[in-house]
Amino acid sequence: MTNHEPLIHIARRDGLVWWRAWCIRLAAAVLALLVSALFIYSITKLNPVKVYAAMWEGAFGSPRRAWVTARDASILLCIGVGLAPAFMMRFWNVGAEGQMLMGGCATAAVLIYGGGALSTFQLLLVSTVASVAAGALWGVIPALFKARWNTNETLFTLMMNYIAIQITCFLVALWENPKGSNSVGVINQQTQAGWLPALFGKQYLLNVVIVLVLTVAMYLYLKYTKHGYEISVVGESENTARYAGISVKRVIVRTMALSGAVCGLSGFIAVAGASHTISTSTAGGRGFTAIIVAWMAKFNTFVMVLIALLLVFLEKGAVQIASQFHLNDYASDVVTGIILFFLLGSEFFIQYTVRFRSHGRNNEEVQA
Amino acid sequence: MKKFSSLLLALCLVLSLGVCAFADEGGIAPEDLKIGMVCIGDNNSGYDIAHITGLEKAMEALGVPAENVTYKYNVGENEEAADACYDLADNGCQIIFTDSYGHQTYTQQVASEYPDITFCAMTGDLAAASGLDNLKNAFNHTFESRYVSGVVAGMKLAELIENDELTDDNYDADGNVKLGYVGAYPYAEVVSGYTAFYLGIRSIVENVHMDVRYTNSWFDPTAEGSAANSLMADGCVIIGQHADSTGAPAEVQAYHEAGHTVFCVGYNISMLEVAPDVALTSAGNDWSVYYTFALQSMIDGTEIPTDWSEGYNEGANYIFPLGDACAEGTAEKVEQIEAGLTDGSLQVFDCSTFTVDGENPTSFLALDVDGDFVGDEGEAIKDGIFYESDPELRSAPYFSLRIDGITELTTEE
């Protein structure tokens, strides 16, 4: 008799107790470390424990390293926080890269043209406003098209990235110092005008504080305000939203303005608070990495803190093993890839349960 | 046996102590010298390989143990460069090199906070202007090896003309042979390089005209290939390059296989592998000369000059082995030219050999002090010679004259 039961049966879980979900994640992390260890040993013959220790060293080995990790994690987190409202609305904003670059360009412009005329406080105020406005503009354009003509927002926001990258290239050529070098160099290096100041002697503390405030504010906004409720209703079903008297168009445009504004602000933090220059590497793919941050955290901005830290930790760790063991960067990228694969994969096992076909004897019993 | 080895060990210790004592005059013993090296790429990029092997060669020559260097790979020209420098400084490096121009402003920032550590911003130009005692710049006389590679191309061109292998397409309306050059950016370093290359060719064949196409990237195989293609389609016979990939030579090889008369000259790496039939040679830099000098200065406790620039006279420049396509007698000619550059009897930028707007230049101010990108001081032309990368002025190239006979094609088609 033919057996119609498939070899593997996948079913959606009804919901998992939180601690079981975390057990699955922990198991995935352990498995990822084991597989990476196998890879490390088979390719390089290095002691995996030493390699993991080196990764930790690279991210947190000295106060300075820890601050650099915090600085980079906070920028990544900021973009993730910016993506949260759009994603919750099921509006696939993959344009964070461009929104961040536009914010960065606006900040650089203020620092360059206002450097001699305004005080640092004024410069910071103006560049914050400018970066928020530029990012919001870059977010609103695709939203308007979506609201008016129902265009595909994924493609639209993606294409807006390329425009932003080209604008950045153009501005770099305009501001390059010296001419022809394709580099703007450090803006206001002598005066440090318009740079985010150190807080309590810690250079990047202000960056971290700004982003953490945003993280809390966004959590509250999404969870407890009328706007946040409208966003989740539109995300669940536009028809329901319309039936409930919510103006879907207005919510889309408003939410994307907010999303773009926060991403634009991340550009401000990157330029005024970290690199003090502008180039396409100001965003450097972080607008895309932040999509992973937002997704893995299921749009919960507090969980994003952990994910952003994890990703930056992996990146710094990869750089450290490249330097310490003379491994090519690509080798350490493989380790990062393995870890991400397992962590993302574990979400599948949290959402779904997998059952294998039971043995023949049991089948007969069932059929009988 | 055990006694003997311990005796030997003791002897070694005493001797090394002696060396330490000897080097104590502000210097650092080779085994104690800790070096940091910040690279814009890694061992996949010809540019970084030239620096890494240069440093390794220097360390080996001076007896600095290999584990005394810490590399930071793939460091961007942004805050990553500052992070890397801070980290190396925190970890006890006494001398830190950054290999890319764009690292420089960040190197300067860190140097200002660590006055006891020496920072060398390779190919940079800000050390003198920064006023920092511990920030240094260095640049080889790349224009010299470009000139020599131009001579190689000129010899080939002369042979092609003699054998009547050129077509009418290869000449412009004024009867000049067309040459092409793929440049990265309209930057003094590039201008200086292509001008030297052109002058090298013209020292052999007088009636030549060169078109320069920019790719706006230091490394972009596709853009370099298509720039070469449009130059060749225009009838250019020789394709030179100042961009870091093998994109252009690969296209020249393909065009040659399609039955056209074209040859190319590369940069930093030998192009014979990708363009075996058309690659004549490549202009090269031997960075080990500077790294040896800098490390030796650290060991001796002597001051490294703020600006360092040397060429053939110190062995810092060379050209790669000649390809099979080279004309007969090229090797002898190269030897003669190199000898001239080595002893200083031959100057690449002899103002009597070129004109700007129809006149031989008599004055050029190399240094810009007010930030408008126009030179304000530092006369580079002395006794009819344009001294490029004169350490008295600046090690980074400043030759930005657009001479007659070369056209920059800046507009996209």
CATH of the domain at B401: 3.40.50.2300
Contact assignment for B79 to A182 by CB distance below 8 Å: no
The length of chain A in residues reads 368
Does the distance separating the beta carbons of B190 and A182 come in below 8 Å? no
Subunit contact B78:A180, Cβ cutoff 8 A: no
Contact check, Cβ <8 Å, B73/A277:
no
CB-hemisphere CA count at 13 Å for A353? 8
What confidence score (pLDDT) does residue A319 get? 83
Q: Which of B34, B48, B79, B100 to mutate to test the interface with A (most CBs of A within 10 A)?
A: B79
Joined together, the tokens standing for residue A306 give: 């952990």
- pLDDT per position as a tens digit, A140-150: 999 999 888 98
How far apart are the two ends of chain A, measured CA to CA in Å? 13
Does residue B303 belong to any structural domain of this protein? no
* Token digits of residue B84: 């890397």
Question: Rounded distance, CA A274 to CA A67, Å?
Answer: 11
Assign residue B378 a region (left: φ > 0; alpha: ψ between -120 and 50; beta: otherwise): left
How many Å apart are CA B131 and CA B116, to the nearest integer?
15
Domain boundary among B138, B156, B189: B138
DSSP structural state of residue B100:
S
Among A317, A338, A356, give the residue marking a domain's end. Answer: A317
**Are A251 and A292 part of one and the same domain?**
yes
A282/B43 CB distance under 8 A: no
Residue pair B42/A328 in contact by the 8 Å Cβ criterion: yes
Sign of the four-CA dihedral B186, B188, B191, B193: negative
B210 and B82: one domain?
no
Q: Range of A181's domain?
A: 69-317
In a shared domain, residues B56 and B159: no
Q: Which chain B residues touch A182 with a CB distance below 8 Å? A: 102, 185, 187, 216, 218
CA distance B71 to chain A (A): 5
Considering the domain architecture, whether residues A130 and A190 belong to the same structural domain is answered as yes
- Looking at the domain assignment, is residue B289 inside a domain? no
Q: Is residue B106 within 8 Å of residue B82, measured between CB atoms?
A: yes
Alpha-carbon gap, residue A96 to A295, rounded angstroms: 14
Domain for residue A52, yes or no? no
Q: For residues A203 and A337, state if they share a domain.
A: no
Residue type at position A54: A
Q: How many domains does chain A have?
A: 2
For B231-379, strand residue ranges (E) read 238-242, 263-267, 279-285, 307-308, 317-319, 365-367, 377-379
Task: Looking at the structure, tell me whether residues B158 and B90 fall in a common domain.
Answer: no
> Phi/psi class of residue B84: alpha, beta or left (left: φ > 0; alpha: ψ in -120 to 50)?
alpha
pLDDT for B15 equals: 46
**Across all residues in chain B, what is the average pLDDT?**
88
Q: Cβ distance A281 to B102 under 8 Å?
A: no
Domain check: are B122 and B222 in the same one? no
Co-location of A254 and A358 in the same domain: no
Q: How far is residue B107's CA from residue B75's CA, in Å, rounded to a whole number?
A: 12
For residues A216 and A338, state if they share a domain. Answer: no
Strand partners for B349: none
DSSP state letter for B395: S
CA–CA separation, B122 and B308 (whole Å) = 10
Evaluate whether residue A62 is within a structural domain: no
d(CA A81, CA A78): 5
A12 in reach of chain B (CB within 8 A) = no
Q: Which residue of A has its CA nearest to B375?
A: A178
CA distance B271 to B265: 8
DSSP 8-class letter at B272: T
State the nearest Cα–Cα gap between A45 and chain B, in angstroms: 18
Q: Report yes or no: A168 at the B interface, CB cutoff 8 Å.
A: no
CA distances from A106 to A109, A112, A146, A269 (A): 5, 10, 25, 12
Residues B249 and B360 in one domain: yes
Q: Do A189 and B216 touch (CB under 8 A)?
A: no
Q: Is residue A54 part of a domain?
A: no
One-letter amino acid identity for B381? I
Rg, C-alpha atoms of chain A: 24
Pull the structure tokens for residue A210: 């700004």
Quote the strand ranges of B288-330, DSSP E. 307-308, 317-319
| Interface test mutation site (partner B, options A71, A315, A319, max chain B beta carbons within 10 A) | A319
Cβ-Cβ contacts under 8 Å, A68 against chain B = 83
User: Do residues B300 and B65 touch, judged by C-beta distance below 8 A?
Assistant: no
Is the CB of A328 less than 8 angstroms away from the CB of B216? no
Here the tokens at position A91 are: 């509006």
Interface of B with A in 229-288 (CB under 8 A): none
The pLDDT value recorded for residue B4 is 53
* Within-domain flag for B51: yes
Residue with tokens 């990544």: A76
Region of residue B140 (phi > 0: left; psi between -120 and 50: alpha; otherwise: beta): beta
| Burial class for B287, CB neighbours closer than 10 Å (0-12, 13-18, 19+) | buried
Q: ipTM exceeding 0.85?
A: no
Amino acid at A82: G
- Window 361-380 of B: residues touching A by CB (8 A cutoff) are 368, 371, 373
Using the Cβ of A285 and the Cβ atoms of chain B, whether some distance falls under 8 Å is answered with no
The residues, any chain, with a CB within 8 Å of residue B246's CB and separated by 6 or more, are: B221, B266, B269, B271, B273, B274, B275
Nearest to B69 by CA among B81, B82, B53, B46: B53
A326 in reach of chain B (CB within 8 A): yes
A33–chain B nearest CA distance, Å: 24
Q: Say if residue A265 is in the same domain as residue A333.
A: no
Q: Are residues B336 and B389 in the same domain?
A: yes
For residues B210 and B107, state if they share a domain. no
| Chain B partners within 8 Å of A203 (Cβ) | none
| Run of H or E residues at B96 | strand B95-98
Domain CATH code at residue A242 = 1.10.3470
Q: How many residues are recorded in chain B?
A: 413
Q: Are residues B190 and B119 in the same domain?
A: no
- Asked if residue A129 and residue A85 are part of one domain, the reply reads yes
- Domain final residue pick, B138, B161, B191: B138
Q: How far apart are CA A169 and CA A172, in angstroms?
A: 5
On whether both B223 and B364 belong to a single domain, the answer is yes
Which segments of chain A have a pLDDT < 50? 363-368
Q: Give the 3-state DSSP-derived string for B115-151, with helices as H, strands as E and coil as C.
A: CCCEEEEECCCCHHHHCCCCEEEECCCHHHHHHHHHH
Say which residues have a Cβ less than 8 Å from residue A3's Cβ, sequence separation at least 6.
Answer: A357, A363
Distance of alpha carbon B350 from alpha carbon B332, whole angstroms: 22
Low-confidence ranges of chain B (pLDDT < 50): 1, 11-24, 411-413
**Any chain A CB within 8 A of the CB of B90?**
yes
Domain hosting residue B367, numbered range:
142-284+319-409
- Count Cβ–Cβ pairs < 8 Å, chain A vs chain B: 76
- For CA atoms B323, B327, B328, B330, the dihedral sign is negative
Whether the CB-CB separation of B176 and B371 falls below 8 Å is answered with no
Bridge partner list, B214: B183
Residues A102 and A216 grouped into a single domain: yes
Same domain flag for B55 and B150:
no
Neighbour-count burial for A68-92, b at 16+ CB within 10 Å, e otherwise: bbbbbbbbbbbbbbbbbbbbbbebb
Instruction: Kindly state whether residues A186 and A269 are assigned to the same domain.
Output: yes
Residues B117 and B219 in one domain: no
For residue A282, the chain B residues in CB contact (below 8 A) are 78
Does A107 reside within a domain?
yes
Check CB contact of A276 with chain B, cutoff 8 Å: yes
Burial class (CB in 10 A: 0-12, 13-18, 19+), B67: exposed
Give the end of a domain, one of B111, B138, B165.
Answer: B138
Taking an 8 Å cut-off on Cβ atoms, the answer to whether B78 and A326 are in contact is no
Predicted model pTM: 0.81
CA distance A163 to A143: 16
Determine contact: B73 vs chain A, CB below 8 A.
yes
Q: Would residue A161 count as lying in a domain?
A: yes
| A279, A298, A317 - which closes a domain | A317
Q: Is A150 in the same domain as A243? A: yes
Q: Are residues A189 and A239 in the same domain?
A: yes
Q: How far apart are CA B187 and CA B400, in angstroms?
A: 8
Closest CA to B398 of B372, B364, B370: B364
Half-sphere exposure of B254 (CA within 13 A, CB side): 12
Say if CB B177 and CB B209 are below 8 A apart. yes
A191 close contact with B: CB closer than 8 A: no
Q: How many domains does chain B have?
A: 2
Residues A267 and A305 in one domain: yes
